[in-house]
Structure 1
Amino acid sequence: MLSPGADLALSLLGGFRILVDAAITELEHRGFADVRPVHDFAMRAIAAGGDSASELGRRLSISKQSAARTIAVLEERGYVERIPDPADARRKRLQVTALGNEVMRTGEKIFEGLRENWARTLGQTEFERFERDLRTLVGAQPVRFDTPGWMARDREPGSPGRSS
Structure 2
Amino acid sequence: MELDTGSLAIFVGFAAADRVQAVLDAAGHGDLRFSHGYVFQHLIEGAPTIGELAESLGVTQQAASKAVTELDGLGYTERFSDPLDARVRRVRLTDRGSEAVEIARRARTELERDLAERLGPQRLAAARTALEELLDELGGADAVRRRNVRPPR
TM-score class normalised by the smaller sequence: 0.7 to 0.9
1:8 matched to which residue of 2?
5
- Which among 28, 49, 72 is matched to residue 75 of structure 1? 72
Q: Tell which structure's C-alpha radius of gyration is larger.
A: 1
Answer yes or no: is 1:59 the counterpart of 2:56: yes
In the TM superposition, residue 50 of structure 1 has moved relative to its aligned partner by: 5.3
Q: RMSD over aligned Cα, in angstroms?
A: 2.3
Contact 2:49 2:88 in 1 (8 A): no
Summarize the alignment of residues 32-43 of structure 1 with structure 2, pairs less than 5 Å apart: 32-43=29-40
Summarize the alignment of residues 7-156 of structure 1 with structure 2, pairs less than 5 Å apart: 7-49=4-46, 51-139=48-136, 142=141, 143-144=143-144, 145-149=147-151, 151=152
Distance 1:103 1:44 in 2: 12
Same amino acid, percent of matched pairs: 23
TM-score by length of 2: 0.84
TM-score by length of 1: 0.79
Number of equivalences: 148
Q: Which runs of 5 or more residues in structure 1 are unaligned? A: 153-164
3-state SS, counterpart of residue 83 of structure 1: strand
Stretches of 4+ aligned residues off by more than 3 angstroms: 47-50
1:159 matched to which residue of 2?
none
